[in-house]
Structure 1
């Protein structure tokens, strides 16, 4: 169960209000494993991931403490500064119950660390975003996060939970993220049941994470490709990009060929399932790369929405976000269809995503406060084998 729940709820709400994708209880591991099993270094209470329209990412860390060791706020700031450097984050917040001298706050701010009590953070966040005041998000609910983390104890689902909650927050390689994400879906496929709301929550969280890496990949590719491009050279470039270089690809292809020969199966040059569909998907996404940055947050909000009672203000905000991005619905449906086909998941996962989004957008206008402006009104009501080939665990 999540500790320091109120502070983490505030941090997640702030992230969502600022357009950042929130991740709770993010595990930090050594970038190069030198041991027999993965070694955890520490965990981050909350990570907010921001995706720019150009496809770049930036990270904001939140260190939340209500008790534990009697560290002074400035000592927590020094610790957070080292953590920020380790994971390549741009800034960090330390939220504690103790007040901090102004001189300590100034010293911390020069390291990119902002020191707050719960009260001062609440005021700070409210001054920056009306959606923070209104609580117009499904992502702040700690019970839903508990549900998501509970599935890490189910063997086939463990990798998908890790991909959704940790790798998407910290991994910086678009190609590696796409490979590992597909591997996680493939491993989870026999266990995932679209009739179970909890599994639909996990699928939607995984979809959001996969969209993070698609946005990163498209952001990088659009800067190096001379578009429009013939299919053959595009396919070759995409293949080497996903496998992080020709040499890595050739090693994996030779491993695949050796495995297939040993099994008496005809050799195939496609290491990723539904390779042709992925090529078409990437070409489509490259037609509108600036439409991708909002999709991970939208997909995550929709996933968490399934596990909670309706929040009218959150639904109003989601409707607005979809309507501000005309390609959002099309791209989310296309990526969902690719994952379902590539991982061999039940088609009902794709049907459910389409139904949920369409019902939200085609519903009659959700009743709004009398002012007609949810932000301004609510601001006065502050609410409290193939897996190995895909590189899982390797380069």
Structure 2
């Protein structure tokens, strides 16, 4: 993959830094226009690595990593990163340089939440956070595995679109319900392309469910703040329905449009706009409310399974993954619930569910 061929070592370092600090890494995240005004979608720039984490308040923390070699001075690169941070709603930025920046530039950049490091300085800084920084202990800590994951989508337009949503829209879109609908719609339209028996197809699927878990972590934190824990099912369902469709007025507008369309097509029943797998989604939300903080703990294991599908099996990395899953019983429980709903909503082959269950069994 051409995009990942550049600055591989720095990107691997950024990913490892994310992992040791509890951040979820996303690679090669394109930054799009605020609103597209042309017939074709254009890309402003991209994040080499974007690290995200859901805070206890439910708000995502975002840290960008810029690994590009540039002739621009370090402080000017810091100003560029600061502007990109503000545009994309990030909290901090790390700019990894080929040569050292002066102490004055580094201190000035820090006042705008940008950290300037060359490779050696960043390695020392990361090691001070955790000695595991230099250890290749899981599938995600090796950049070659990321390349294999990205290559799984190459040559299939449906997979390209699905991967784009799960890797770009998911970490950057502020409206989580909007991107949730996009993710489910894209996979439903592409369901005929997926074969659970093929490793590349499983990789795309697990990567998507990893992103789905990240979205649900934010959604459940939102619902936790607005729904009474002892609410009746009807009241709970009403709140979730309004929330998913962007509010009461948005849902009413959708219903009016659907009714108008149905009136022009007598063969279609006039009914409310419905979310895919709605009863199961409501049940999923109620079950995940038992422990919102544990939802995002499913993200990394599912992504590990995605990479494991398209790379040689490594016993040591399997042992780490097994230990991670065993450390919290919610990981398997929530992952299975998330995958069951995702398969139902997108109408993907049900074998994906049994495949995940078998993968968990094999890792015991």
- Which TM-score bucket, shorter chain as reference? over 0.9
Aligned: 1:188 with 2:182: no
Mean Cα displacement is larger for which, 250-259 or 170-179? Answer: 250-259
Q: Please say if residues 24 and 53 of structure 2, whose CA atoms lie closer than 8 Å, have aligned partners that are also in contact.
A: yes
Aligned pairs for 1:227-246 (under 5 A) are: 227-246=229-248
Instruction: Provide the residue aligned with 1:109 in structure 2.
Output: 110
Instruction: Provide the residue aligned with 1:89 in structure 2.
Output: 90
Residue 251 of structure 1, aligned match among 253, 275, 278: 253
Residue 11 of structure 1, aligned match among 5, 14, 20: 14
Instruction: Provide the residue aligned with 1:30 in structure 2.
Output: 33
Instruction: Provide the residue aligned with 1:340 in structure 2.
Output: 343
Aligned pairs for 1:167-316 (under 5 A) are: 167-261=169-263, 262=265, 264-316=267-319
Instruction: Provide the residue aligned with 1:388 in structure 2.
Output: none
Q: 1:44 to 1:90 in 2, by over 3 A?
A: same
Q: Please say if residues 136 and 311 of structure 1, whose CA atoms lie closer than 8 Å, have aligned partners that are also in contact.
A: no
Normalised by the size of structure 1, how large is the TM-score? Answer: 0.86
Superposition CA RMSD, Å: 1.8
Q: 1:257 to 1:140 in 2, by over 3 A?
A: farther
Number of residue pairs aligned between Structure 1 and Structure 2:
359
Instruction: Provide the residue aligned with 2:75 in structure 1.
Output: 74
* Distance in structure 1 (CA, Å) of the matches to 2:72 and 2:234: 58
Which structure's residues are more often helix, by fraction? Answer: 2
- Aligned to 2:29, what secondary structure does the other structure show? strand
Mean Cα displacement is larger for which, 99-108 or 138-147? Answer: 138-147
- Aligned to 1:334, what secondary structure does the other structure show? helix
Aligned pairs for 1:111-126 (under 5 A) are: 111-126=112-127
Q: Please say if residues 260 and 267 of structure 1, whose CA atoms lie closer than 8 Å, have aligned partners that are also in contact.
A: yes
Higher RCO (C-alpha under 8 Å, 6+ residues apart): 1
Instruction: Provide the residue aligned with 2:145 in structure 1.
Output: 144
Mean Cα displacement is larger for which, 54-63 or 33-42? Answer: 33-42
Over residues 169-221 of structure 1, what are the superposed CA-to-partner deviations in whole Å (9 max), with x where a residue is unaligned? 21122211221111121122111111111111111110011111100000011
- Aligned to 2:145, what secondary structure does the other structure show? helix
- Aligned to 2:64, what secondary structure does the other structure show? strand
- Aligned to 2:329, what secondary structure does the other structure show? coil
- Aligned to 1:70, what secondary structure does the other structure show? coil
Q: Please say if residues 332 and 360 of structure 2, whose CA atoms lie closer than 8 Å, have aligned partners that are also in contact.
A: yes
- Aligned to 1:269, what secondary structure does the other structure show? coil
Normalised by the size of structure 2, how large is the TM-score? Answer: 0.93
Q: 1:255 to 1:159 in 2, by over 3 A?
A: farther
* Distance in structure 1 (CA, Å) of the matches to 2:46 and 2:207: 19
- Aligned to 1:71, what secondary structure does the other structure show? coil
Per-residue deviation, 1:126: 1.6
Per-residue deviation, 1:252: 2.1
Aligned: 1:129 with 2:130: yes
Mean Cα displacement is larger for which, 153-162 or 323-332? Answer: 153-162
Per-residue deviation, 1:232: 1.2
Q: Please say if residues 170 and 176 of structure 2, whose CA atoms lie closer than 8 Å, have aligned partners that are also in contact.
A: no
Q: Please say if residues 62 and 94 of structure 1, whose CA atoms lie closer than 8 Å, have aligned partners that are also in contact.
A: yes
- Aligned to 1:50, what secondary structure does the other structure show? strand
Gaps of 5+ in 2: none
- Aligned to 2:337, what secondary structure does the other structure show? helix
Q: Please say if residues 149 and 307 of structure 2, whose CA atoms lie closer than 8 Å, have aligned partners that are also in contact.
A: no
Gaps of 5+ in 1: 363-395
Aligned pairs for 1:380-391 (under 5 A) are: none
Over residues 249-293 of structure 1, what are the superposed CA-to-partner deviations in whole Å (9 max), with x where a residue is unaligned? 122223333444516122332522211110111111112212112
Over residues 52-83 of structure 1, what are the superposed CA-to-partner deviations in whole Å (9 max), with x where a residue is unaligned? 34432101100002x4x411222211111111
Q: Please say if residues 148 and 161 of structure 1, whose CA atoms lie closer than 8 Å, have aligned partners that are also in contact.
A: no
Q: Please say if residues 48 and 67 of structure 2, whose CA atoms lie closer than 8 Å, have aligned partners that are also in contact.
A: yes
